Chains A and B, each alone.
Chain A
Amino acid sequence: MMPKAREQKYYITFLMLAACYSLVVIALADYMRNKPFLERLGYIPSVNTLKVFAADHKQLLSASLMLKVQIYFGGLIEKAENKLQVPADYPAMSRTIDAALKLDPYNMDGYYFAQAILAWDVGKPDLANTFLEYGMKYRTWDWQLPFFAGFNYAYFLKDYGKAAREYQRAAELSGNEMFINLAGRYMQRSGKTEMAITYLGMMAKSARQLSMKRTLLTRQTAFLQVLKIEKARDTFFQHYAKLPTSLDDLVHAGYLPVLPRDPYGGTFFIKNDGSIDSTSGFAFAAVKK
């Protein structure tokens, strides 16, 4: 029990602290509002809910979501290699990656995966680029994001102006002039396959997960075969001044020793415009687009 005088002392302390508090809390609120990497709003509600419950474990939750996607994808690749046709739920994967990146916009696993899967397997390079551009706002030091985005612009979207801009950025961030050169070479049609091979090689080199590395190397093998065919086609064109009607022409004319095999299990064919494609579409699973 407190006598009056001491009780008063406590009330005075309380009032003084409360006054200090009101000053500090306003300064703090101001700072928090202008915090540079504060996540802005307008997400899907489920991510919002996730965020509230994640409390200060947002990065952990993000990492665990990515882990889930990776495990799902790893299992998919294994089944595909065993010739099992499993329809991949790409929208769900894309949604999960989205949530993971909203929770932790710095999570590189998310961008890497978005690029590797969305651009190639799902055939949505523009969606991949939306992710990459979101990430560039946070990972301001990272040259890989503009590198991926530039590749998507050049290879898939054929927007060479934007591609050049992204490569410029990658070059500045990494201090590596190679990206500028890459940009130039995309302008030529024949360079396209070669660039894809280089690009896939680089991605595979930095891939840590085995299933991811295998995916990338398989795709690279496919493109190496395509390159072989393209070279044979070009020689054929030089000699005959016309495009071969089928790949068998190239074998019969002796420009290809054997018909290259598609690692995805499809058959290569030559399109009317002379470009090389495969019945597999360069993917294992049937793609739900």
Chain B
Amino acid sequence: MANLISINLLAIFRDKVFHGILAIAVIFLLIPSISSLSMRQVTELSITLSLSLLSVILLLLSVSLGATSLWKDIERRYTYSVLSLPMERSAYLIGKFIAIALFLLLTALVLGAVTCLVVWLSSGIYPPERPILWSALILCVIFSALKYIVLIAYSFLFSTVSTSFFLPVFGTISVFMAGNATQQVYDYVHSPAAKALSPLLKHAASFFYYLLPNFSAFDLQINAIYAIPLSLKGVALPFIYFCIYTPLLIVVAAIIFARREMK
């Protein structure tokens, strides 16, 4: 397993796409100067911009790595040479997943450190009215990474059923959008304003709410930006949710992948 993880990490580090995406991180340098445009909340704006940039980079990474990794191995016929080695298909899949997840976590931590630096610099320009809640900022970065790891698990699930990369790429993007919207849709459908909707639609909304990932639960940006203390429940519940939801997706992906023919 360690062998597989290290090989897949090497694959990411030697990938050109990865270099291109990391180049986007240069935008972090511009954040302090953009933030000073704000009238009243320089520090808040710098946190907002940094977290959003971080989120965009992680999204690009999870789509480009997660959705294409397996597809690339099949397309370039690496699977013949690798899967004929004495390893379980599930080991191959999980090793690949862990490598990408680790890499994403690593990127998040590095860029999180850059975020802290940027925020610290901005707060030096114009002191914030409320002290920065560093713990919320750091947790926000980590939870952002967790959210995208769930997304990668989805991209793996799509890759195991599809032979082209359309489903993995666009399926992953759709899950990302849906995962961010489920909470709002659910709230709306169950609010008095939506009384007129048919019960069938409401049940469908509830069904998808419980099936699709709830990315709103991982969104701690409000807490990080406006220094609002986090509740234990607000951190623990999403984390446990992550610890169950991700393996669930990977197990399904492993079952499907084990049945797949390497034609």
B181: A residues at CB distance < 8 A: 52, 55
The yes or no answer to B32 lying at the interface (CB within 8 A) is no
How many residue pairs between the two chains, A and B, have CB atoms under 8 Å in the bound complex? 144
With known contacts A59-B222, A106-B222, A207–B237 Cβ distance under 8 A = no
Chain A residues, Cβ within 8 Å of B176: 55
Q: Determine whether the beta carbon of A1 is less than 8 Å from that of B41.
A: no
Interface size class of B (residues with CB under 8 A): 35 or more
Q: Is B67 positioned at the interface, with any CB of A under 8 Å from its CB?
A: no
Looking at the complex, which one of B39, B56, B237, B258 makes contact with A109 (CB distance below 8 Å)? Answer: B39
Interface of B is mostly: helix
Query: Roughly how many angstroms separate A11 CA and B254 CA in the complex, as a whole number?
Result: 10
Task: Find out whether the CB atom of B187 lies under 8 angstroms from the CB atom of A41.
Answer: yes
Q: A10-B255, A28-B241, A37-B222 are in contact. Are A208 and B42 (CB under 8 A)?
A: yes
Complex contacts, B210 vs chain A, CB 8 Å: 22, 25, 29
Question: Considering only CB atoms, which chain A residue lies closest to B35 in the complex?
Answer: A63
A38 neighbours in B (Cβ, 8 Å): 187
> A residues within 8 A CB of B217?
28, 31-32
The stretch of A12-20, A79-87, A157-165, A192-200 that contacts the partner chain: A12-20
List the B side residues contacting A14 at CB < 8 Å.
Answer: 248, 251-252, 255
Does the CB pair A2–B40 fall under 8 Å?
no
A14–B250 alpha-carbon span in the complex (Å): 9
CB under 8 Å from chain B, chain A span 35-86: 35, 37-38, 40-42, 48, 51-53, 55-60, 63, 66-67, 70
Is B2 an interface position by the 8 A CB rule? no
Q: Which of A24, A55, A59, A108 contacts B241 (CB 8 A)?
A: A24
Chain A residues within 8 Å of B, Cβ to Cβ: 1-2, 6-7, 10-11, 13-14, 17-18, 20-22, 24-25, 27-29, 31-33, 35, 37-38, 40-42, 48, 51-53, 55-60, 63, 66-67, 70, 106-109, 112-113, 139, 141-142, 206-209, 212
B residues sitting closer than 8 Å to A (CB atoms) are 36-42, 44-45, 48-49, 51-52, 55-56, 88-90, 126, 129-130, 144, 147, 176-177, 180-181, 183-184, 186-188, 191, 193, 209-210, 214-217, 219, 221-222, 225-226, 228, 233-234, 237-238, 240-241, 244-245, 247-248, 251-252, 254-255, 258-259
Across the A-B interface, the 3 shortest Cβ-Cβ residue pairs = A60-B52, A55-B180, A17-B248
